[in-house]
Amino acid sequence: MAERRKFLALDLGAESGRGLVGLFDGEKLQLEEVHRFPNGPVRLLDSLHWDVLRLWEEVKQALRLAVRKYGPDFAGIGVDTWGVDFGLLGRGHVLLGNPYHYRDKRTDGMLEEAFRRVPREEIFACTGIQFMQLNTLYQLLAMEVEHSPLLEVAETLLMMPDLFHFWLSGQRVSEFSIATTTQFYDPRGGMRETVRGEWARQLLERMGLPTDLLPEVVPSGTVLGDLRPSVAEEVGLGAVPVVAPAAHDTGSAVAAVPAEGENWAYISSGTWSLMGVEVTEPIINEAALTFNFTNEGGMGGTIRFLKNIMGLWLVQESRRTWARAGEEHSYSELTQMAAEAEPFLALVEPDHTSFLPMGDMPARIRAFCQQTGQPAPKTKGAIVRCALESLALKYRWVLEKLEAVLGRRLEVIHIVGGGSQNTLLSQFTADATKRPVVTGPVEATAIGNVMIQALARGEVGSHAEAREVIRRSFDLLTYEPRQPEAWDAAYERFLRVMEQAETFA
């Protein structure tokens, strides 16, 4: 048996974080979780922040536990996180405050303020990124509008995974995939190695925002350097290379999609659903602007042409609401309740602005249904089923728009990530879209993280070869579409609901 190379993927999501060891023997990859920890926002006065110092301690604990079980001879360590959030470093590379959470209300009204300074069409033409008030651009603009003193003393802006890579390696750079989530990166420029484009400095200047904070952008798979000696000593490691994977978690997840050919779409499913295709050039045109699609960086300088959909957030926040009331349920219990509930009782637009903040999600879903003239779901099962059916129908809408922009049919949908474990949603997706749905791997983000590290260290020869390794290594499930007439009728209702939703906040 060939010697197995060991890689550590540190995958930090909006709800939880994980440390996973990837064992690769040249043919197959085995993944084992060594540490899991909760994550979420911390409210301080009227603001939401990330508890970044606790997360850093959890990262080091993952390193300690990996060493304890597998020894110190790792071939690489890499971090991926959610997008858009950042930390600011001041003189001496000190962190200036706790990074804000993207659901913080400080970005309320910032889209309108941005369009007052630079027209919406020009922002999209420059960046190709969809408009969401949580984007880094509007977070930074909020700081400028509020005259934040941090902007006066900040020297470097690092996106969240870049911040952890800096603490691990000492390198202050931004990895390509995470840089593109900011909405101040221009992907239209030429290729430098496997980095496409450059920071949109002129856009920031027109917005009245600083540009001297922006670090060098490096490709996915860049070896940043060895682990800092102080960290290595603390956790029991040696001079292990720190490798920037696709540091945006969706970038790593898409890198792990076990697809072949070209006519496929992906859904990276979790708190958010990121649905799109992998292309070689950014698609920045009127149709993409109209449908509010986005162009984010991917492995090898590719572009992830996709749309952010609210995803399982509606179910997650409903579950938290019930738990706060003393009614604890596992996700599997809630899914079973949904399976037994009445089909198509009511539908919602998952991306309606009322669903974005934290809070009483069941009450918001009921209120939305009442405002659109539908019966309000009363039971937990009815609420979860409403969310899942609506999500599957939104996938159909996005699929139709993808095909319209691309001018071709997408034959199969791959669902990866934690949401792929929701068998009811996977079947609903096949039913709604009338496409076969292939689910797995569940830990796609960590798998993509590991395989990009393996590629960077010369253990695999190409991205295509890495995807072949993934197909050999992990079980996949296929769902075939059913009940086309019922889902067609539901889709017509859903389109009407989407139209109604545009008329109220």
**Cα torsion at 447, 453, 458, 463 (round to 10°)?**
50
> What phi, psi does 372 have (nearest 5°)?
-105, 15
Q: Rounded to a whole number, what is the distance in angstroms from the first to the last CA of the chain? A: 60
List Cβ neighbours of 487 (8 Å cut-off, separation of 6 or more): 393, 431, 432, 434
E-strand ranges in 303-380 read: 303-309
With 0-12 CB in 10 A as exposed, 13-18 as middle and 19+ as buried, what is 421? middle
E-strand ranges in 120-214 read: 156-159, 173-175, 185-192, 195-199
> What phi, psi does 492 have (nearest 5°)?
-60, -40
CA distances from residue 411 to 426, 433, 434 in whole angstroms, order as listed: 16, 10, 9
**Residue in 249, 351, 475, 488 annotated catalytic:** 249
CB neighbours of residue 337 within 10 Å: 17
Strand partners, 49: 42, 100
The two tokens of residue 204 are 């920031």
Between CA 9 and CA 449 the distance in angstroms is 6
CA distances from residue 78 to 54, 81, 120, 452 in whole angstroms, order as listed: 18, 10, 35, 9
- For 209-258, the three-class secondary structure string (H helix, E strand, C coil) is CCCCCCCEEECCCEEEEECCHHHHHHHCCCCCEEEECCCEHHHHHHHCCC
Between CA 334 and CA 382 the distance in angstroms is 10
Of the candidates 224, 494, 462, the one whose C-alpha atom is nearest the C-alpha of residue 351 is 494
Q: What is the DSSP letter of 502?
A: T
33: enclosing H helix or E strand? strand 29-38
Q: For the CA atoms of the chain, what is the radius of gyration?
A: 22
Between CA 236 and CA 225 the distance in angstroms is 17
Strand partners, 173: 216
CB neighbours of residue 233 within 10 Å: 11
- 108 part of the active site: no
User: Between β-strands 303-309 and 294-297, what pairing exists: parallel, antiparallel or unpaired?
Assistant: antiparallel
Residue linked to tokens 């997408």: 410
List Cβ neighbours of 398 (8 Å cut-off, separation of 6 or more): 275, 276, 307, 309
Which positions are annotated as active-site residues? 249
